[in-house]
Structure 1
Amino acid sequence: MIAKTFQDAQNAYTAYRLPTTTVVTAFESDLKKGLCTEEAHIRLRYYGKNALPSPPSKPLWRQILAQFWTPLTILLLIAILISLLVWWIEHETPFPYESLTIFVIVLFNGILGFLQEYRADKAMVALQAMEAITAQVLRDGEIQVVATAQIVPGDILLIEEGDIIAADARVLEAIALRLIEGALTGESVPVSKHTAPIGQKVSIGDQRNMVFCGTAVAAGRGRALVTETGTRTQIGQIAGSLQRRVEKKTPLQKELDRVGKWLGLLVMGIAIMMSLVILLVDRIGTLRELVAILLLVVSLAVAAVPEGLTAITTIVLSLGMQRMAQRNAIVRTASAVEALGATTVICTDKTGTLTKNEMTVRTVVTPSGRVDFTNVGYDPGGHAVQAGQPLNDPILLGEVTAALRAAILANNAVLRSDNGLWTIQGDPTEGALLVTAQTMGLQKSSLEDCFQRLTEIPFSSERKLMSTVHKDRGGIDSEQKVLYSKGAPDVLLARCTSEQIGSEHGGTCMRPLTAERRHAIRAVFEELAADALRTIGMAWRVIPEETSPALEQMSEHLEQELIWLGVVGMIDPPRPEAAMSIKQAQQSGVRVIMITGDHPITARAIAYELGVMQQGEHVVTGLELEQTSDDRLKEMVRDVAVYARVAPHHKLRIVQALKANGEITAMTGDGVNDAPALQQADIGVAMGRAGTDVARGAADMILLDDNFVSIVAAIEEGRAIYANLQKCLRYLLSSNIGEVLTMFFGVILASTIGLIGEAGTAIVAPLLATQILWINLLTDAGPALSLGVDPPDPRQMHRPPRSQRHPLISRSMWVSISIIGVIMTIGTLFILDMSLPGGLIPGNGNLRFAQTMTFTTLVLAQLFNIFNARSDTLSVFHTLLANRWVWLAILLSLLLQGAVVYLPFLGNAFHTVPLHPFDWLLSLTVASTVLWGQEMAKWGRHLLKGKNMVK
């Protein structure tokens, strides 16, 4: 367990005031090995998880109570209490069946609503758990990736550009390390970090040798020893304020709110009109009759107002998001799901997204010639060949060795072999260079023994190169310091003044770089790029003695007057499945734009192969973008499919131009500087493997496999989710309209259809309050949710994206919903009229039988309506058996309705009588007109569309 030394020292000092060695010793850690795994587990039990406190969850009883805390439900409960009071005073019936039945239904409805919301919450929590936040630590002498929650005091963090710091820590190593600490200090400018102790007490903003949990690494890299975790971190102490955030509603939720309020007002108006008609026609005069009216109209309002829309929408969204996660795309926000269905442009990186990100060096070109390599993947067991023959030219061999030496020393990756399986830890490009160097017999560990690294200028997307400075302990002058650089060949070549012929130890000469030679070298770049090879240049120089003291403050001015060593050409083959996904995206009306930092010729070759661009199209470079105005760029982005040699700020301009043109844009990114473009895009897409923490934090969607295929799959799922939401709405709204119109016109036309009260009945209506609420409970829950998991329409990826200006419920959809509601009403009232003596179609049943038939017919009509809701254009018979959950929901509803009709105690509760098989057949036949009517409407639309096409 951690020693008391540091805890005692904290009485007078804190970590930033002590030397690094003292802090490491106090925490009983090790600079080279870190903690052992067993000790880390002990400390985890002692200190607890490295996590901020989660927001206090709402108590279960409050979540359940919230289901009944709506105006209509409260009004219904009050009406139930009044009804029970009236029954207790008058005792006209032996038992208050209706009041208690309504109460039980309301109770079940509330529990069902709670279960829906609980399931939705659990689904969202499961999705959040998929966003596993990890960090690199040194344990047992090896670099390990662990969950940030498992980090403990004494762990040594490995920090790289783009990371989010996992805990408060004392800096042990800082190589051009700069952090953005605005979340903690309010300072927007990145802060440089160092390792020296600070002798006096200073504020957090001045603790330049500390890094703090939640801050982002803007540049550089380093190591730091964890001093505090969880709630003891600086940000953990203020975590309470971070939890009080207001959840913003998405456009879809706002639209559903508007629809719900509009329908609520409409239904309440109809209910008031209906109650007035009953009061006038039935000549109500007793308190019991007034209470019966109140129960009826409030029950109708409760059943007809789609209060469950929000819960059902949340469940449909969360289930769809889980399906996306299964297809390697974690969508973090509901608004992103909405945007996915409307995406018109995908702006994608090339490396790792359209390609495999398994770099393999194919060739090295030096001043004296070209050497090819036969390596495949990360196995260094290949060979070096010159013109198809084994390499034996000593001058060329020396140049290739010198170039690869630079590639190894200016390199932070690690090549490992585990039982013959070679793996790379670090950047794939750097790993490929290590593989090739090892093929030539160069071992990184041996070289690092001879060339002690002193400092580094890390790679950045703006500079496009990295450099390291070493002490040459194997040379004649053991104090000589040399700099090795690697990076974009054209950028590096511009910093070179000469080139090296032969090796740097014996038999070398430095030849000045003339204009002709520079032109010839650039021709090599283009030749390699034309073969779809990614190019990396290498160079070096000796550091003058007078510059050595300034190495701690090493700056880019040292990366001048370099000596050119050569260029490496490596291949990152396109993913075989990418071309098919690009074609699928294009068929669905989604443009694919490739944005890369690679050479334009390489970009063009890959784009042709994948079908992103066609022959004759122009590749726009970052330099051209710099010279293009915003207005001109808005015109340019309409046609350009490939951008090469771009910097992250160019991505932001491209996104802004596309959005200015009204495009719904998905943008991929992985680096810190990609964050602005990811935030600006409608859907920011971060890489789950190669991406930085900052990029993932700024993104709306994270690709677990960094694969373009997953973006297209997410768009397909996004369209399916939106379509399923429309199915749920089509079903719920048309069914509710059918219920409301049946009750309204049943009361209005009561005398016409023979609906006359019998002795002992308080009021006369097509359905009782208990029956209305039962229909709502029976048909709105299971069937609606079953539509939420309907499989995607196979034709949806052959249609253009929907416009975000297009409402969720279009005018044509409202017409369809209204027609279904009217057909449902006519069929139900037809059955009511047939079941009663008198009316337009005289029958021979009593009021209880007629209400049972009406009740059953309306239930069956809504069950038939499930099939209508699945498509507004496609016949139900095309996908009749595609969704088993629909059939299970229908079967369960039929069984429950049968129980209400045939079980005596339920018959008393719902005022039903047993039905004859012929009665069921009649109800079933009439109810099916809902289905046949919609099928005829679809057929008519198809015929009309065909005629228009002929014209």
Structure 2
Amino acid sequence: MTSSHVVAIFQQPTDVVIAALNSDMSHGLTTVEAHRRHRQYGANELDAEPPIPAWRTFLAQFQNVLVIVLLIAAAISLVVWLYEREQALPYEAIVIVAIVLLNGILGFIQEARAARAVAALRALAAAEASVIRNGETVRIAATELVPGDILLIEEGATIPADGRVIQSIALHTLEASLTGESLPVSKDTDPLTTAASLGDRSNMLFSGTTASYGRGRMVVTATGMQTEMGKIAGLLRQTTSERTPLQRELDRTGKWLGIVVIGMAVIMIGTILLLEEVRDVKTIVAVLILGVALAVAAVPEGLPTIVTAVLALGVQRMARRKAIIRKLPAVETLGSASIIASDKTGTLTRNEMTVRTIVTASGRVEIVGIGYGPSGELRQTDDASSTEAMRSEVTATLSAANRANNAVVLERDGRWTILGDPTEGALIVAAQKAGLTEETLTARFPRVGEVPFSSERKLMSTVHTDSTHPERLLVFTKGAPDVLLNQCTAEWVEHAPRRLSEERRATLRTLNEQLAGEGLRIIGIASRVLPRDALDQAHALNDELEHDLVLLGFVGMIDPPRDEAKAAITRAKMAGIRSIMITGDHPKTAMAIAMELGIAGTTAAVTGAEVESLSEEALRTLVQECSVYARVNPEHKLRLVKALQQNGAVVAMTGDGVNDAPALKAADIGVAMGITGTDVSKEAADMILADDNFATIVAAVEEGRAIFVNIQKFLFFLLSSNIGEVLTMFGGVVLASVLGLSAGNDAIIVPLLATQILWINLVTDGTPALALGLEPANAAVMHQPPRPHGSSVIPRGMWIRILVVGVIMAVGTLLVLDAALPGGLIHGSQTMEYGRTMAFTTLMLFQMYNVFNARSYTQSAFSHPFQNPWLWGAVTMSLVLHMMVITVPVLQRAFSTVSLTARDWLTCLLVASIVLWVRELDKVGQRHRLRGTQGEHRGTTTNTETDHSG
């Protein structure tokens, strides 16, 4: 719709508006018509920022200063070659440019992959709307809304389009984002008689605003850029690129390492120029290329790209496990979570009320089976006085409970669901388990009237005819037991009513309290017989019917805990994570579920009122001990989060309502419910549970820890390998005379050429590092306490091992080079070209061994060696490419290499394996140390993937 249409709409009656849009309030649009309008009006979304062209993303890979300097040096090398023409082709310039291009291509691919992953996550977290299509209520993506759609609005929902209110049940909206009005705005259906500003259009709803109270319906009048919010879409399109603490730390590490390496490169260049007395331009250019190549190879400028790719791929894994991450920092924070504060209903429990017990005059019956499926059976307890009497009383109780009921139980795609109140649905399911089918009861007891439930009476009654006794009417009543007992004068015993004595009434009240103490929700069921003409009397269909009732029985029900929740809580406890229940439910119900799940500690449940009465200091003391909070409102949740954080905890908090948003924002990880959660809570959260399941939170913590550990793995690999390259080059230049590098005819004597260093950087860094980021999660990550929030990603112990591995690589490579050349520490007789090929191969193989070292901090490299096929693929590719470089003639000329014999390869393999055996010995010591440390705390757990402090 155009804006001119919108101006007139709020001045017209609802039926005129709906007719003008060719829609229908009851049936909505047809699917065919909705698709036609979608093609006409487009998707209901604001115009996005134009995507960055691929060519610009590709060119951005070459904006690094060192890469630009390298390309300039390659250009100078090309000019020198054109001038001297000593070789058939400018091999050095060609190789440098080719390697830089390949690096750029790999970076471009990684960025594109990360962008696709983030886009996929946005699609998973896309908003949905409830609309009427073809006469049925369906959930569709908000982007599919079209003008004319009839949209259902619930409290807490974000309005996804502009529309005219056609039904309002105490509907209020928050419009501050559009009009600046800070208070909720009441909405009605009455047309306005005069023109009005946005803030005064009381019968219109606007995209981007929020329903804060009540419910209603609207007919969509404008979508996408035609909405009022679309007119100021520039404000909504402002997005900021959020850098995680991890990425910021890696930036600092990269800059620090870059300064050190560049300093070493400058020293190396200066040493070569002074010692070799270089004078000609060609040699000076070669030395400069060498220094820049070393800096490019050593500085991990690709770290942010790899980190982003690994985070994005890991987040996609979380999404497959029903945890949708909205903000990348949440991935890091998950690894530090020390407390999960969860709601009860639907998260720790199934959100499927289930009848567990029925108590009648003759005793108690337990009902087996959970959920809304009718499978299950009734089991009589030992205290039942008579099986026949028990069966009669239970049948009467469940028949009445089924009839005084407005819910519907449906099976869809093999899954049983409830339309209506879950408590009423549970009563229907219980009747089905007792063999009382809906068809049979409906045929015998047709309904002729109803006295609806009210919060004042706490009762609901329905009136029925009885096909077996046409002369009478039956009143079936259910409600709060204490209230219902006051309206009962008799109790159904076997096949007839028996008058209630005061002693029996007191016994029943005690019984009600006992059942409630078991955490059950108790519903009382009663009935009454009336003459057939009772409804013909004036004012008969009201609460006057709820007198002189006959008590049939008490029904105890509970929302049973999820089976997987108990296992998840146990896993969380093993991981050093404390689980807390925060619910609005009754304290006794909360404690019963908490006891069953293993959450409850030594203290009883604390109510929200008690939380409110405590001082900040007292609350901080309380939250250290208490793990169950009941009758809590959202304001109390916020206080609890802050108290936990003040004690140093990293808190993951769940929420689903509008008022939960402050607590979700305040928590270190706000977790919104994907099924029952409001749009406001989802917007405030860092993570959305697609299945509203507590076990999913624990699974996300495991993935978050695994992602962080994998990042540490490839950091260890990259930094130790790069330091090995730097020390090889620097040591070779500084110790040239000791190692015999002064022998030969080269104008400059260095261990490896610039092209060889760049090639190692290309084939052994990026791909294996990314493969390490795809390592499967190790069960050991959930056997360790949470990582301290804000702790360094590269702690001191890890730096020490990085340096040790780098030194081993450099020493081994230089000794292989020395052994090939005349003079030096180890006498050899080969050419410089052969010696460099041996050193080139040894350094590459060092890094291949090192990538397997990096798979685990404590576990042997030989433990589950084939667990990560991506790693084997990356290593195989690196080996094949290296073999091509030293065997294919054209590549031999380009990289100044020669072919190696099998014995040469064996020598390189054996020397390079030193780094593997040294790390294996170190890991044995680490495992021994961890056994001792963990034995003091938790017994015999031996593995860790997160402790790099060593």
TM-score grouping bracket, smaller chain normalisation? 0.7 to 0.9
1:68 aligns with 2:97: no
Corresponding residue for 2:101? 107
Counterparts of 1:876 and 1:184, CA distance in 2: 59
**Residues 380 and 820 of structure 1: is their aligned pair in 2 closer, same or farther, counting only changes over 3 Å?**
closer
CA distance in structure 2 between the partners assigned to 1:369 and 1:803 by the alignment: 55
What is the DSSP-based 3-state SS (H/G/I as helix, E as strand, rest coil) of the residue aligned with 1:795?
A: helix
Q: Does residue 734 of the first structure (1) align with residue 720 of the second (2)?
A: yes
- Please report how far the alpha carbon of residue 705 of structure 1 lies from its aligned counterpart in structure 2 after TM superposition: 1.7
Secondary structure in 1 matching 2:769 = helix
Matched residues in 2 for 1:848 and 1:37: separation?
Answer: 74
Q: C-alpha deviations, 1:260-302, integer Å up to 9, x for none?
A: 1111111111001111101110101111111111111011111
Is structure 2 residue 744 aligned with structure 1 residue 750?
Answer: no
How many residue pairs were aligned? 882
Q: 2:579 maps to what in 1?
A: 592
Distance 1:771 1:302 in 2: 12
Q: Of the candidates 900, 903, 908, which is equivalent to residue 915 of structure 1?
A: 900
1:170 maps to 164
Correspondence for 1:832: 817
User: Counterpart amino acid of 2:234?
Assistant: G
Give matches, 1:711-722, under 5 Å.
711-722=697-708
Q: Secondary structure at the match of 1:527?
A: helix
Q: Secondary structure at the match of 1:32?
A: coil
Scaled by the length of structure 2, the TM-score of the pair is 0.85
- 2:117·2:316 contact (CA, 8 Å) conserved in 1? yes
Measure how far apart 1:939 and its partner are: 2.7
The equivalent of 1:285 in structure 2 is 279
Conservation of the 8 A alpha-carbon contact between 2:400 and 2:477: no
SS in 2 for 1:932: helix
Aligned to 2:748: 763
SS at match of 2:900: coil
CA deviations on 1:301-337 (whole Å, 9 max, x unpaired) are: 1111001101111111112112112222112221111
Shift of 1:64: 0.2
Counterpart secondary structure, 1:878 = coil
Residue 865 of structure 1 corresponds to which residue in structure 2?
Answer: 850
**1:792-829 CA distance string (max 9 Å, x none):** 22222111111113210000000000000000010000
Partner of residue 607, structure 1: 594
CA distance in 2, matches of 1:121, 1:781: 18
Matches of residues 287-366 of structure 1 in structure 2 within 5 Å? 287-361=281-355
Residue 642 of structure 2 corresponds to residue 656 of structure 1:
yes
- C-alpha separation between the residues in 2 aligned to 1:393 and 1:865? 75
- Give how far 1:228 is off: 0.9
**Does 2:46 align with 1:52?**
yes
What SS is found at the alignment partner of 2:629?
A: strand
Gaps in structure 1 of 5+ consecutive residues: 1-5, 458-463, 475-483, 504-514, 540-558
Q: Which moved more, 1:312-321 or 1:301-310?
A: 312-321
Distance change in 2, residues 1:375/1:283 (3 Å): closer
Note if contact 2:174-2:185 (Cα within 8 Å) is conserved in structure 1.
yes
What secondary structure sits across from 1:164 in the alignment?
coil
Q: Deviations over 1:136-178 (max 9, x none)?
A: 1112221111121221111111111121212111111111111
Where do 1:460-499 residues align within 5 Å?
499=486
2:626 to 640, 649, 655: 640
Task: Decide whether aligned partners of structure 1 residues 827 and 150 sit closer, same or farther in structure 2, where only a CA change above 3 A counts.
Answer: same
1:500 CA displacement: 3.5
SS in 1 for 2:579: strand
> Does the Cα contact within 8 Å between 1:364 and 1:371 map onto a contact in 2?
yes
With structure 1 as the length reference, what TM-score do the two structures score? 0.85
CA contact (8 A) 2:360 2:393 kept: no
Q: Give the Cα separation in 2 of the matches to 1:563 and 1:51.
A: 57
Matches within 5 A, 1:22-37: 22-37=16-31
Displacement after TM superposition at 1:664 (Å): 0.8
Say whether the 8 Å CA contact 2:246–2:793 is kept in structure 1: yes
Quick check: 1:142 aligned with 2:146?
A: no
Gaps of at least 5 residues in structure 2 are 466-475, 491-501, 527-542, 937-950
Q: Which moved more, 1:815-824 or 1:244-253?
A: 244-253
The equivalent of 1:247 in structure 2 is 241
The one of 509, 527, 530 aligned to 2:514: 527
Q: What is the match of residue 547 of structure 1?
A: none
User: How far apart are the structure 2 equivalents of 1:313 and 1:465?
Assistant: 59
Q: Is the 2:620–2:647 contact (alpha carbons within 8 Å) kept by the matching residues of 1?
A: yes
**TM alignment of 1:884-903, pairs within 5 A:** 884-903=869-888
CA distance in 1, matches of 2:8, 2:672: 37
Asked whether the 8 Å contact 1:174–1:222 carries over to 2, the reply is yes
Match of 2:770 among 785, 800, 803: 785
Q: Which residue of 1 aligns with 2:653?
A: 667
Give, in angstroms, the shift of residue 657 of structure 1: 0.8
**Contact conserved, 1:75 with 1:298, CA < 8 A, in 2?**
yes
Tell me how far apart the structure 1 counterparts of residues 205 and 192 of structure 2 sit (CA, whole Å). 14
Post-superposition shift, 1:659?
0.8
Q: Distance in 1 between matches of 2:264 and 2:243?
A: 30
Counterparts of 2:195 and 2:447, CA distance in 1 = 39
> Which residue of 2 is the match for residue 94 of structure 1?
88
Shift of 1:830: 0.2
Distance 2:130 2:424 in 1: 18
Question: What is the distance in 1 between the residues matched to 2:35 and 2:294?
Answer: 60
Q: Which residue of 1 is the match for residue 540 of structure 2?
A: none
Q: Which residue of 2 aligns with 1:127?
A: 121
8 Å CA contact 2:117–2:312 kept in 1: the answer is yes
After the TM superposition, which of the residue ranges 378-387 and 180-189 deviates more from structure 2? 378-387
Q: Which whole-Å CA distance do the structure 1 matches of 2:864 and 2:548 have between them?
A: 66
Which residue of structure 2 aligns with residue 183 of structure 1?
Answer: 177
2:202 counterpart letter in structure 1: R
Q: CA deviation at 1:529?
A: 2.6
Aligned counterpart for 2:226 among listed residues 204, 207, 232: 232
Residue 564 of structure 1 and its aligned partner are, at CA, apart by 14
Return 635-644 or 141-150, whichever deviates more.
Answer: 141-150
Equivalent in 671, 674, 678 of residue 692 of structure 1: 678
**Is the contact between residue 399 and residue 441 of structure 2 (CA under 8 Å) also seen in structure 1?**
no
Partner amino acid, structure 1, of 2:759: W
Could you tell me which residue of structure 2 aligns to residue 198 of structure 1? 192
Letter in structure 2 aligned against 1:629: S
Letter in 1 for 2:34: A
Offset at residue 416 of structure 1 (A): 4.3
Matched, 1:937 2:937: no
Change (3 A) 1:69 1:429: farther
Q: CA deviation at 1:631?
A: 1.4
Cα distance in 1, alignment partners of residues 396 and 363 from structure 2: 10
Separation of aligned partners in 1, 2:103 and 2:413: 60
Q: Which moved more, 1:240-249 or 1:327-336?
A: 240-249
CA contact (8 A) 2:620 2:643 kept: yes
Per-residue deviation at 1:623? 2.0
Which residue of the partner structure matches residue 629 of structure 1? 615
1:354 CA drift (Å): 1.6
SS of the residue corresponding to residue 608 of structure 1 reads helix
Residue 650 (structure 1) shift:
1.5
1:240 shift after superposition: 2.4
Equivalent AA in structure 2 for residue 864 of structure 1: Y
Q: Which whole-Å CA distance do the structure 1 matches of 2:932 and 2:430 have between them?
A: 66
Provide closer, same or farther for how the CA distance between residues 417 and 304 of structure 1 changes in structure 2, counting only shifts above 3 A: closer
- How many angstroms does 1:685 deviate by? 1.4
Q: Residues 296 and 768 of structure 1 are in contact (CA less than 8 Å); yes or no, is this contact kept in structure 2?
A: yes
The one-character-per-residue Cα deviations of 1:733-790 (angstroms, maximum 9, x if unpaired) are: 000000000000100011111112644x342211111001000000011110111111
Residue matched to 2:564: 577
Q: Partner letter of residue 24 of structure 1?
A: I
1:518 CA drift (Å):
12
Report the aligned-residue RMSD.
3.9
Whether 1:879 aligns to 2:873 is: no
- SS of 1:208's partner is coil
The equivalences for 1:777-856 within 5 A come to 777-856=762-841
Residue-by-residue CA offset, 1:573-601 (whole Å, 9 max, x unaligned): 22222222111110111101112222212
